[in-house]
Chain A
Amino acid sequence: MNPEELQQIADRIVSMAEPGEQIEAVVAWSRDTEVRAFEGEVEHFVSADSAGVGIRMISQGKQGLSWAGVLDDAALKECLAEARDNASFGSEDPNAGLAEPDGVEPEELSLFDERLVHADTEEKIRLAIELEAQVRAGDPRIFGIESADYADSVMATALASTTGIRRSSAETSVYLGVYALAGDEEDTTTGFGFSVGRALQDLDLAFAAQEAVQRCVRLLGATKAPSERLTVVLHPYVTSQFLSLIAEMLSGESVIRGRSPFAGRVGEEIAAPSLTMFDDATDPLSPTASDTDGEGLACRRVPLIDAGVLSGYMHNAYTARVAGTNSTGSAQRGSHRAAPGVGPHVIKLMPGDLSAEEIISQVGNGFLVHDIAGLHSGVNPVSGDLSVGADGVRIRGGELAEGIREVTIGSTLQRMLGDVVAIGSDLTYFPWESTGLTLAIADVTMSGQ
């Protein structure tokens, strides 16, 4: 379905509002393809369209939601009736309300690449099979492939509201990713690699394959290390996950609910003076860039930390109203099933001057962290306590030394922000809402033997 057809459905739902009702309708459609290769053959090939609608109703300061995975008339009517009924059970909230047009024009981003729509199925299959083959050939110690996938999606969404917001857009994405196994009798390691883009032509298959092979083999022979306090150097992939957590603490939602240790601290120094962080939501190079947010307002750059000083938070229409400010275009909607929350689109740190090698050499003695595990069980974004499983390479005398696995690194997110000692120049994009770069943080506890 194209954005215009979806817009018509959204408009029709909104036109059914009764006096005194605010209605917001989101209609989404996608066509997805997924190919998994195994031992040179197609293990599975998935092809499907899906669609859904989500309705948010606010009536007398009370909010209700309803969604459906079908778009026929009967389902839409039932969905609207359910949202209306649900709204009658909410608590009255003077701040409840939809986003209002704020006059900010969305930037024109080209997120839709027509070439994907016409891409050849055989080529998609070839990419998955070739990815598997390249990884297997990449090193004699690679003994297996857990998955080698090609996936793409053509998506369209439309939003309409009784406050006068109407937005529709379309977007394409492609993904090539592999999980590989390496080892010998003694030792097994795993590694992943991926490449993303908006059309097949953007994919860098050799890069994805090489990443997976390198991630596998560099951990072979790695062992547990003794516990100590040291400087950690985070790989851009790890930094991006760390930044996602910081962003969660700077969401207006955590702040107005008293769940953020940074609530009420705008203007205070919360990080090392070298650190500047912002949401660069419309950066066209990012796979997660967006022209409009989950409530249809224009996405924009949101300053968060300026030279170590907290400059503000991200807000959607509701959290902004509670906080007495304006939406920053940071409404995030996981899908048509969810109410808009608050979150970033493209979190970024202002890059520094040093390369990863220079940082490693400068740190001298430390731990280069390649990967972390247990982020969701081991980090509490309310208290800031952090403790995650980690693997990587020990840094000695400014050089990479032995591999380390099965250790944890621990600190608090607040302390880590203050303990940043070096920021890399190697800005890296990922297919999630945070970028990364090499980042060195002092005084982190590594727990091992």
Chain B
Amino acid sequence: MLEESTIQRVLAAAASRGADFAEIFAEEKRSSSALLDDGRIEELTSGRDRGAGIRVVVGESTGFAHTSDLSEAGLIAAAETAASAARGSGTGTTIVDLDRVNAPRPNLVRIMPGDVPKAKKVELLLMANEMARAEGAAITQVSARYADSHRRILVANTDGILGTDEQVKTLFSISAVASGDTGMQTGRESIGRSVGFELFDTYEVGDLARTAAQRAITKLAARPAPSGEMTVVIGPGGGGVMFHEACGHGLEADLVGKGASVFAGRLGEQVASSLVTLVDDGTMGGEWGCFAIDDEGRPAQRNVLIQDGILVDYMWDGLRARAEGRASSGNGRRQSYQHLPMVRMTNTYLLGGTSTPDQILSDTESGVYISHLGGGQVNTATGDFVFGMTEAYLIEDGRITEPLREGNLIGNGPGVLTSIDAVGNDFAMGGPGTCGKDGQGVPVGDGVPTLRVASGLTIGGTAA
């Protein structure tokens, strides 16, 4: 994307007022999507972004500027803006030697989405539409979306790092509306992986369509969810977002450093049930949150955060790690070249246990079984979190019985972590997610086996 000598001169300009650290992050991203609604291909969209962000750190202050002009003059102008924003008051003209980061690609991409005829992408949408509607006359509306992206990044900094990565992602999602005497209900399913069009060799869009349609139809017969604190069993795959919210965000070093996390100062302590081992892993090949290098040039890592209930480590980006005199954990990510990197999760998951899912269920007198969670939100300072149940059922006498209408579930991170009393042996990854923090969205993955939270979760139903 850029010549090595250009990078060196831009870094020198960025550090010219004196800097503890300067960095250039260049990005070129192409994306395409196709949208089906109401039985018609509404539109295809293609997009292209290209530019560079330049960061200069002086003491505790960071200056940042970005530009879509990748010429040397454009980059140097941005570097000077960033340097003046960082308010350095010294001089520095060092030309740094750059060493290429050697990070393995998490997986190979077999079929570049850009090489696939648009007609084939459209065909997938039309097929999914038909399959969803074939599930029953109750299905009154279907929308579906295909999207792919190809992101090339280059990161170089005054520590002498030069890294590049190519990140390809493909996504398919479908949403169905079912109508009946009780009104309308929706069902959704999506699949997204850091792979090319070969995604559809592994996943049939027809299966996704049927799942979405069945979710909507099932909910037509659903009763209002109960209210109050209950035992909750979370199904494999679909509930990973709970850990993302309940503790993942609270383990991000930037929030910990500002005292904005309930997990601050608790390293080495028992923070969860001994059944809990939580991992954040950017190296998981093909998963939605994987990469070869993070957006600061650091190779992806597998980081154990909680081991058998003991808090082992937080997640780190370069800036926070530098302040602590330690290495980044490969969690420095950003939405685009127009954004500053910060500590972000990658693929966050709970390791499987030894119970079978049947044992866990039959051992649960009454409660709620959640097979699919929607998005969530957490206040990291208090640990209070909330997430949506998009597919849930009552548990009565150890069996899954009636479907429940949608609702939110709330709890407190540390409270819920200590109340996990069963973890299944059926680990599965969940669907693709976009994690939002401080106005930036990045792709993340999550996964869980079947697990039970004995207490501490409140179902926000409407039944009296």
**Across the two chains, which residue of chain A brings its CB closest to B33?**
A65
The reply to whether A406 and B260 contact each other, CB–CB distance below 8 Å, is no
A447–B113 alpha-carbon span in the complex (Å) = 47
Docked pose: A416 CA to B461 CA in angstroms: 15
**A259 on the interface (CB 8 Å rule)?**
yes
Q: A64-B43, A65-B45, A373-B379 are in contact. Are A388 and B260 (CB under 8 A)?
A: no
Indicate which residue in B39, B183, B374 contacts A377 across the interface (CB closer than 8 Å).
B374
A377 touches B387 (CB 8 A): yes
Q: Are A447 and B49 in contact (CB under 8 A)?
A: no
B314 to chain A, nearest CB (A): 16
Considering only residues 205-255 of chain B, those with a C-beta below 8 Å from chain A are: 219, 225, 227-229, 255
User: Which of A41, A87, A145, A384 has a CB less than 8 Å from the CB of B60?
Assistant: A41
B67 partner, pick from A48, A259, A408, beta carbons under 8 A: A48
Task: Specify which of B49, B184, B410, B412 lies most central, judged by the most chain A CB atoms within 10 Å of its CB.
Answer: B410
Asked if B391 is at the interface of the complex by the 8 Å CB criterion, the answer is: no
Interface 1/0 per residue, A79-113 and B, CB below 8 Å = 10011011101110100000000000000000000
Interface residues of B in 169-198 (CB under 8 A from A): 177, 179, 183-186
- Interface flag for B65 (CB, 8 Å): yes
A75 at the interface (CB under 8 A from B): yes
B185 contacts A407, CB within 8 Å?
A: no
Q: Which residue of A258, A407, A445, A446 contacts B177 across the interface (Cβ within 8 Å)?
A: A258
Please, what's the 1-or-0 string for B274-306, where 1 marks a CB less than 8 Å from any CB in chain A?
000000000000000000000000000000000
- A39: chain B residues at CB < 8 Å are 60
The B contact surface, by secondary structure, is strand
Distance to closest chain B CB from A145 (angstroms): 7
Is B270 on the interface with A (CB-CB < 8 A)?
no
Q: Which of B79-87, B156-164, B363-371 faces chain A?
A: B79-87
- Please give me the residue from chain B that is nearest to A151 by CB atom: B439
Chain B residue numbers with a CB within 8 Å of A44 are 61-64, 340
Q: Is the CB of A374 within 8 A of B177?
A: no
Whether B407 lies near A410 (C-beta < 8 A) is yes
A377 to B375, CA, bound (A): 5
Interchain CB contact under 8 A, A337 and B381: no
- Chain B: CB-nearest residue to A339: B43
A70, A189, A447: the one contacting B48 at CB < 8 Å is A70
Whose C-beta in chain A lies nearest to the C-beta of B182?
A: A383
Find the A residue at minimum CB distance from B229: A449
Residue in A41, A71, A377 with the greatest tally of chain B CB atoms within 10 Å: A377
Residue B344 at the A interface, CB < 8 A?
no
Q: Give the residues in chain A near B48, CB-CB below 8 Å.
A: 67-70, 75, 78-79
Judge if A376 is at the interface, Cβ distance under 8 Å.
Answer: yes
Looking at B65, B81, B462, the one whose CB has the most chain A CB atoms below 10 A away is: B462
- B293: shortest Cβ distance to chain A, in Å? 22
Residues of chain A within 8 A (CB-CB) of B259 are 143-144, 181
**How many angstroms between the C-alpha atoms of A68 and B464 in the bound complex?**
52
Cα distance, A48 to B55, chains bound together (Å): 12
B374 touches A146 (CB 8 A): no
| Per-position 1/0 for A179-213, Cβ under 8 A of B | 10100000011100000000000000000000000
- Any chain B CB within 8 A of the CB of A147? yes
Is B381 within 8 A of A190, CB to CB? yes
Give min CB distance, B410 to chain A, whole Å: 5
Q: Which of A38, A41, A257, A384 contacts B38 (CB 8 A)?
A: A257
CA distance A100 to B112 in the complex (A): 40
Q: Is B324 interfacial (CB 8 A cutoff)?
A: no
For residue B335, CB closer than 8 A to chain A, the reply is no
Interface check B140, CB cutoff 8 A: yes
| Contacting pair B408 A384 (CB below 8 A) | no
A408 and B458 contacting across the interface, CB-CB below 8 Å: yes
**Cα–Cα, bound, A387→B368 (Å):** 16
A155 to nearest B CB, angstroms? 15
A389 interface residue per 8 A CB criterion: yes
A405 within 8 A of B: yes
Query: Contact between B41 and A406 (Cβ–Cβ < 8 Å)?
Result: no
CB distance from B393 to the nearest CB of A (A): 16
A45 to B84, alpha carbons, bound, how many Å? 9
Q: Identify which of B44, B185, B406 contacts A64 (C-beta below 8 A).
A: B44
Say yes or no: is A358 at the interface (Cβ < 8 Å to chain B).
Answer: no
- Is there an interface contact between A66 and B41, defined as CB atoms closer than 8 Å? no
Shortest beta-carbon distance, A203 to chain B, in Å? 20
A181 touching B460, Cβ below 8 Å: no
Bound CA span A85–B41, Å:
14
Q: In this complex, what residue of A is CB-closest to B57?
A: A44
Q: A: which residues have CB within 8 A of B?
A: 38-39, 41-51, 63-71, 75, 78-79, 82-83, 85-87, 89-91, 93, 143-147, 179, 181, 188-190, 224, 227, 229, 256-259, 261, 337, 339, 373-374, 376-378, 380, 382-385, 387-389, 405-412, 445-449
13 extra interchain contacts, Cβ-Cβ under 8 A, other than A87-B43, A378-B386, A410-B460? A41-B60, A44-B62, A48-B66, A68-B48, A181-B259, A181-B381, A188-B262, A190-B379, A224-B458, A258-B141, A374-B408, A387-B225, A448-B229
In the assembled complex, 17 residue pairs joining A and B whose CB atoms fall closer than 8 Å, in A order, are: A44-B61, A45-B87, A46-B63, A48-B67, A50-B68, A68-B48, A89-B41, A91-B40, A93-B40, A257-B141, A385-B462, A387-B225, A387-B461, A405-B382, A406-B410, A408-B460, A445-B462
